[in-house]
Amino acid sequence: MKLPFCFITRGSRMFYRLQQKEFLSHFPRLDVTASRCGSTQMCKDDKSFYITTPIFYVNASPHLGHLYSAVIADCLHRSKLLQGFNSRFATGTDEHGLKIQQAAEAAGKDPLIFCTDVSERFKHLFNSCNISFTDYIRTTEQRHRQAVEHFWSVLWNKGLIYKGIYEGWYSTQDESFLMPSQVGEALDSSGKEIKVSLESGHKVEWMKEENYMFRLSMFQSQLINWLRENPRVVQPERFHQAVLQWLQEDLPDLSVSRQRSRLQWGIPVPGDTEQTIYVWLDALVNYLTVAGYPDKHNQWWHMAHHVIGKDILKFHTIYWPAFLLGAGLPLPQVIYVHSHWTVGGKKMSKSLGNVIDPLEHSQTFTNDGMRYFLLRQGVPDSDCDYTQHKVMKLLNAELADSLGGLLNRCTAPALNPFQVYPSFCSQSFPSDQGGRAVTDDYHMLAAVKHLPTVVEQHYHSMHIYKALEAISSCVRQTNGFVQRHAPWKLDRGDSKDQRWLDTIIHVALECLRIYGTLLQPVVPEISNKLLTRLGVQPGKRSWDALNFLPRSQGMDCPFEGRPLGPDSGVLFSRLETQSDDKQKPKKTKKSANLK
């Protein structure tokens, strides 16, 4: 992967290098460890957590990829809340720049009205899909403008911004400067030869203009040190390595403004109304604006975690940390990178007509269904393909049949006529073998007991699919346990059988309680339904309350003997394809019966 940095022409580069040398001689070395907790390690006693999504461009309606970024961040935020953190979760919209200016022009709308309309659509999507953001930021807000102006002035006052001439390629779609090696040739829809970014495929244009440059080159070695000293700061590892690789190449200074005559839709450079601040500098500062910059950001800023897609890696792992170092601010704790969704094996695009409307699909598959699919199938390291058939197959197997079927069995009046959390009998299921439980049952208990640790680790490292894989495997084992002992065949007239039956149901309900609790960050509605049905009060749904099967260790179980909660129907309705159209699923009321 090559990095498309802004570059300056040969002649002018010599000039800048000279200027820079002179400048560096009276500039103190900036310290990478300026932060209070400058590494990826959290301060032990600090329970603040700050997570962000990228802010979304408002040139077009939200699509599946946008929801994916938001769902990942939402899952991390919810998991931190359940672990007792004071978590803040920011999302919002990126509303300035040439791309938005052109989109508003093309729509024949006033840019702010245009932005407000699309920004509302993002907000509506996130509210509809239970994205529990605590802050929604728009870069057109006054508080943000103040933060950007302040940030710019800090860099300016430190001598990190200077006026120069940028000459090179620019992609408006990516709002990105490119090196010649990042540019290739392609044909446009009318067959005309055009230059494109090799990375994104978007059209690029040659530009030459006077604007402000940021001394990015000065930060090269500090960025390398930061990445080397914090090997988990960019996750997954492959992206961390990619950034280090990029940093082995030349790191030219970065253009951080555009001429006002070309770009009116943006924040003017303080003190120079002829220039507009580069949209990426403007956009990245949103993370600070939400944290309360410039006055009150300390509590949140030193705990910043960013979720981003792989296409915006260089902006977050090179430009952003360099800006922050320049401004003397702590660097992000972790930058979680995810890959992309393709549809039918192809990149989503309007021209291919394969753009997935996440709202429409969430209505079809339910919010939780969509969230579960995206997080269960989405692998951060590589792109994943979205098809409705896959969604249905996965949701039917894991949510309707496996998890829903288990709940259905253990709460059905046939097996649980008194609708209670029945008693556990330690003679039937002693802590060592010798009762009616078999070796596989003990393996299952060990797996479920260990599950919270496994899940917490995977959530924390954004390997959410691995957490869900582990939960799904335990659900299968619990179904196997119930199936193996066929409680429906036991003789209720026999007191020993009755005790064993109760024990089987008690164990299965305990497993379900653990699954329901751990699944809350991913499928909050389904988890709520499940835990409510088990009679687990809201105050008993945090990580602290997990304590699996205390009766097997001779402790009291707070739920034993308690009535179950109300039955509000199947946990997740099976989705069935209409025979005339494979792509259109419909919901059925039936839940699977695994007997």
Considering the complex, what minimum distance in angstroms separates the CB of residue 279 from ligand MSP? 8
Q: Out of 17, 150, 340, 540, point to the residue binding ligand MSP (CB under 6 A).
A: 340
Beta pairing, strands 304-309 & 334-338: parallel
Beta pairing, strands 48-52 & 86-94: parallel
Binding of ligand MSP by 57 (CB under 6 A): yes
Considering the complex, what minimum distance in angstroms separates the CB of residue 281 from ligand MSP? 10
Binding of ligand MSP by 202 (CB under 6 A): no
Closest to ligand MSP by CB, 70 or 511: 70
Binding of ligand MSP by 89 (CB under 6 A): no
Q: How far apart are CA 334 and CA 233, in angstroms?
A: 5
Closest to ligand MSP by CB, 52 or 366: 52
Q: How far apart are CA 559 and CA 549, in angstroms?
A: 10
What's the Cα-to-Cα distance from 191 to each of 186, 187, 194, 377, 466, rounded to whole Å? 9, 5, 9, 38, 45
Considering the complex, what minimum distance in angstroms separates the CB of residue 335 from ligand MSP? 11
Q: Which residue is nearest to ligand MSP (CB)?
A: 309
Size of the site for ligand MSP (CB under 6 A): 19
Closest to ligand MSP by CB, 69 or 140: 69
| % helix, strand, coil for the chain, step of 5 | 45, 15, 35
CA angle 351, 91, 464 (to 5 degrees): 80
Report helix, strand or coil for 383: coil
Q: How far apart are CA 17 and CA 220, in angstroms?
A: 14
Considering the complex, what minimum distance in angstroms separates the CB of residue 185 from ligand MSP? 24
Q: Out of 51, 55, 269, 470, point to the residue binding ligand MSP (CB under 6 A).
A: 55
Q: How far apart are CA 444 and CA 464, in angstroms?
A: 21
Beta pairing, strands 334-338 & 234-235: parallel
Binding of ligand MSP by 312 (CB under 6 A): yes
Token pair of 162 as six digits: 């200077």
Burial label for 324, CB within 10 Å (0-12, 13-18, 19+), is: buried
Query: How does DSSP assign 241-289, residue by residue?
Result: HHHHHHTTS----EE-EEETTT--SSPEETTEEEEEE-HHHHHHTHHHH
Binding of ligand MSP by 311 (CB under 6 A): yes
Closest to ligand MSP by CB, 335 or 470: 335
Considering the complex, what minimum distance in angstroms separates the CB of residue 363 from ligand MSP? 20
Closest to ligand MSP by CB, 286 or 388: 286
- What does the buried/exposed string (b/e) look like for 282-291 if buried means 16 or more CB atoms within 10 Å of the residue's CB? bbbbbbbbbb
Binding of ligand MSP by 516 (CB under 6 A): no
In the block, residue with structure tokens 């094996």: 345
Closest to ligand MSP by CB, 310 or 533: 310
Q: How far apart are CA 355 and CA 335, in angstroms?
A: 27
Considering the complex, what minimum distance in angstroms separates the CB of residue 137 from ligand MSP? 10
Closest to ligand MSP by CB, 304 or 312: 312
Closest to ligand MSP by CB, 101 or 428: 101
Binding of ligand MSP by 317 (CB under 6 A): no
Residue 137 forms beta bridges with which residues?
Answer: 92
Q: Which stretch binds ligand MSP (CB under 6 A): 62-70, 205-213, 266-274, 390-398?
A: 62-70
Binding of ligand MSP by 309 (CB under 6 A): yes
Token pair of 273 as six digits: 């109304």
Window 443 to 502, contacts with ligand MSP (CB under 6 A): none
Considering the complex, what minimum distance in angstroms separates the CB of residue 319 from ligand MSP? 10
Binding of ligand MSP by 66 (CB under 6 A): yes
Window 341 to 380, contacts with ligand MSP (CB under 6 A): 341, 348
Binding of ligand MSP by 54 (CB under 6 A): yes
Q: How far apart are CA 429 and CA 445, in angstroms?
A: 11
Window 168 to 197, contacts with ligand MSP (CB under 6 A): none
Q: How many residues in the chain? A: 595
- Rounded to 10°, the helix 358-365/367-377 angle is 110
Closest to ligand MSP by CB, 308 or 406: 308
Q: How far apart are CA 500 and CA 130, in angstroms?
A: 40
Token pair of 192 as six digits: 């005309």
Closest to ligand MSP by CB, 196 or 534: 196
> Binding marks (x or -) toward ligand MSP, 256..285, rule CB under 6 A?
---------------------------xx-
Q: Which stretch binds ligand MSP (CB under 6 A): 306-314, 327-335, 517-525, 551-559?
A: 306-314
Considering the complex, what minimum distance in angstroms separates the CB of residue 191 from ligand MSP? 27
Closest to ligand MSP by CB, 169 or 239: 239
Closest to ligand MSP by CB, 68 or 559: 68
Q: Which stretch binds ligand MSP (CB under 6 A): 22-30, 161-169, 303-311, 540-548?
A: 303-311
Closest to 135 (Cα-Cα) out of 74, 83, 63:
74
Window 91 to 120, contacts with ligand MSP (CB under 6 A): 94
In the block, residue with structure tokens 């290098």: 17
Token pair of 404 as six digits: 């829903």
For residue 558, is the peptide bond before it cis, meaning its omega torsion is within 30 degrees of 0? no
Binding of ligand MSP by 236 (CB under 6 A): no
Binding of ligand MSP by 50 (CB under 6 A): no
Considering the complex, what minimum distance in angstroms separates the CB of residue 197 from ligand MSP? 14
* Residue 288 near residue 246, CB atoms below 8 Å: no
Return residues touching ligand MSP (CB under 6 A): 54-57, 65-66, 68-69, 94, 283-284, 286, 308-309, 311-312, 340-341, 348
